[in-house]
């Protein structure tokens, strides 16, 4: 799904940016992936990013079902009662 892929890339880029500011520049040490293989600057972890991506793909059908259930058909016609 293209939307999930775009969101996945955006969230990962934002996590890297926020991590660099909050953890590396401001030294707040909110999270640290330094001990996880293939991490980038200790701020993002491809393993966890992959898990979130998979969860996003799995949640898309559920999201669409919920939206369809909450969306009522509208044909633009006014009923005889005026409603």
Which of 17-21, 60-64, 67-71 holds the top average pLDDT?
Answer: 17-21
Is the Cβ–Cβ distance between 44 and 37 less than 8 Å? Answer: no
pLDDT at 31: 94
Residue 55's pLDDT is 84
User: What residues contact residue 44 under an 8 Å CB cut-off, 6+ apart?
Assistant: 12, 15, 16, 19, 33
pTM for the full model?
0.67
């Amino acid at each position: 799904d293209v939307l999930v892929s775009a969101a996945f890339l955006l969230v990962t880029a934002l996590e890297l940016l926020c991590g660099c500011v909050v953890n590396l520049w401001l030294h707040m040490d909110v999270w640290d992936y330094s001990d996880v293989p293939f991490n980038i600057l200790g701020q993002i972890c491809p393993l966890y990013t992959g898990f979130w991506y998979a969860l996003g793909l799995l949640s898309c059908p559920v999201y669409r079902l919920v939206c369809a259930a909450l969306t009522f058909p509208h044909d633009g016609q006014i009923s005889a009662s005026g409603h």
